[in-house]
Amino acid sequence: MKICIQITMAEEAKPFLELLSLKKCEPLKTSIPHNLYHETFEGHEIFLIVNGRFNENISFIGTEFATLISYTAISQLAPNILINAGTAGGKQSSGLKIGDVTIAEKVFFHDHRVSIPGYNEYFKGDFSPNIKYYNPLLSINNLIPAIVSTGNSFEMNSSDEKSILELNSSVKEMELCAIAQVASFHNTPWIGIKSITDIIDISEKPTSDQFFENLNLACTNLSKTLKEIISIL
Ligand code: ADE
């Protein structure tokens, strides 16, 4: 099976790249900055696509780039499944802690607001992974099913907070819903795996400080889980 893994930041991708000894290959035909890696593993063809950078240290994060990269990857690689893996903020009140790895059972946009009747129906997102791929992954030890929500701000404002509560989301990140939307248009099955770098509801530390303190741990855990996922697929 051809598996494409989409990761936003080079830091998030590094432990997984090393774990599977993925090799850098020719980028796809697009002007959107990215890096592409490839290797065969347990009979699967694995592609890893990582967003490019604005400068040496700053990755292109958020839904616009997520959409462009997933569209490019699906159109040119035609994977059997697209896995979006990355980091996220998590709610301690939902039992999540730093380093936990979650799998999206549903994903919404938490920062899309339109009061005109009818628009919210598609604008809110609301995508679920294909149970054929999702259900077997629930057998992985310590992989936690969660409702995930996507927005284009790292910091939460009061509207985001209200929306996250209403959606019952316990995991907050910046790409998955956009990627699930692109995958759905192409009928490409998708899976979302998010590792927790920061606590968004109870901690006294700013989420950005927590993010950098916990990035290595979260991404190491993420890479191990991704390897287990590939073994099950
Ligand atoms: N990625 C990691 N932590 C995050 C947060 N709190 N919000 C959005 N994206 C994140």
The pLDDT tens digits of the residues spanning 110-126 come to 999 998 988 888 899 99
Cβ–ligand 1 distance for 154 under 6 Å, the answer yes
Chain mean position to CA 204: 25
- Ligand 1 mean position, distance from CA 203 (Å): 14
**What angle is formed at CA 229 by the lines to CA 225 and CA 233, rounded to 5 degrees?**
175
Q: What is the pLDDT of residue 220?
A: 98
- Ligand 1 mean position, distance from CA 118 (Å): 29
Cβ–ligand 1 distance for 110 under 6 Å, the answer no
Q: Whose CA is nearest to atom 6 of ligand 1?
A: 89
Q: What is the pLDDT of residue 57?
A: 92
Other beta carbons less than 10 A from residue 182's beta carbon: 22
Q: What is the pLDDT of residue 174?
A: 98
**What angle is formed at CA 209 by the lines to CA 109 and CA 70, rounded to 5 degrees?**
35
Q: Whose CA is nearest to atom 7 of ligand 1?
A: 154
pLDDT digits (tens, 9 = 90+) for 154-211: 999 999 999 999 999 999 999 999 999 999 999 999 999 999 999 999 878 899 999 9
Q: What is the pLDDT of residue 32?
A: 97
Q: What is the pLDDT of residue 120?
A: 83
Q: Whose CA is nearest to atom 5 of ligand 1?
A: 89
Cβ–ligand 1 distance for 92 under 6 Å, the answer no
